[in-house]
Amino acid sequence: MSTPVDALTFGEAMLSVQVDGPLTAGGQARTAVAGAESNVAVGLARLGHHVAWAGRVGTDEPGRMVLRALRGEGVRVDCATSDDQAPTGAMLRERRVADLARVHYWRTGSAASRLRPQHVKSALDAGARVLHLTGITCALGEGPLATVRAAAEHAAHNGWTVSLDVNHRNRLWDATAATTALRPLLELVDILIASDDELPLVAANPAATPAEQAAQLLADGAREVVVKRGSDGADLYLPGRAPLHADAHTVPLVDTVGAGDAFSAGYLSAVLDGLAAPERLHRATRTAAFSVAGAGDWEGLPHRDELPLLDTAPGGALR
């Protein structure tokens, strides 16, 4: 039996092939591990938290690569499961124009798409303080959606904090399908995280202003609504309080993929540390800045002792 962790998450971690130019032109490629939930898990582990990832991979080399990478980052994978009848998912990310990346998925029929509630039972039984979920897992099929629902119900029943990042992917499902699947989950969610263009997917009135949408989500039971605004920073809505805003940190823009996951990791880290609302937003925008300033989905995420580095003058050196 595993021991309790600070945070538990699960979903699809994949083999990522990243090409530095158009694939048809034969751009140079490198392999890595990618996945929204595993990115958050690595971010939390680097910030000093005990975190477990309970996703499902194939019994293949990409699956072994996923588990080795997460284990190497200090993420517990003892409750992860494998499927000898389905492959680990894969994605191709090609840099197409300037800093615009185009992503192609091979996820249909993957091991993660066959995720079922029984596959995460041991992880749930072990216990956690925070359960982090994303809309990406919900988009993988009825089984993964049922797993998300069962996990959220278990966490809510046992007094855990449940966070949900909407994390909409147009190539996985359309807006109508996302709304239909995600809105029934909101009654179980304590912390809702969404970018400003994702908020209408879960709001009762998509035509309302973001502030009105957040107010309704709070009235429906959410404890916190966190809105990511990219280079414009982030807003936090809490019941009975004026909205809080944090500016984004100014850093050289290298790669925006994974920035939202970095933001979520920073925010949940601050929640686990018991920080006040402004400090939660500050840590979230800071971890996101580390992410966009480096290449890769999670490779640039900061360790806890590196958080103050952004306070150093640009171009400086620590000697």
Catalytic residue among 247, 261, 305, 311: 261
What phi and psi values does residue 33 have, to the nearest 5 degrees? -110, 135
Report the 10 Å Cβ neighbour count for 94. 20
Rg, Å, the chain Cα set = 19
* Residue 18, amino acid: Q
Start-to-end C-alpha separation, the chain: 45
Helix then strand then coil, % of the chain, to nearest 5: 40, 20, 40
- 3 state DSSP class of 198: coil
Euclidean distance between CA atoms 116 and 126, whole angstroms: 17
Q: What one-character DSSP code corresponds to residue 188?
A: G
Euclidean distance between CA atoms 128 and 154, whole angstroms: 11
Q: Which of 71, 103, 72, 108 is nearest to 88 (CA)?
A: 108
Annotation says 261 is catalytic: yes
Region of 202 (left: φ > 0; alpha: ψ -120 to 50; beta: rest) is alpha
Q: What one-character DSSP code corresponds to residue 76?
A: B
Euclidean distance between CA atoms 62 and 16, whole angstroms: 9
What phi and psi values does residue 104 have, to the nearest 5 degrees? -120, 135
> Is 204 within 8 Å of 169 (Cβ atoms)?
no
Euclidean distance between CA atoms 36 and 40, whole angstroms: 6
State the sign of the Cα–Cα–Cα–Cα dihedral 105, 267, 318, 73: negative
Catalytic residues: 261
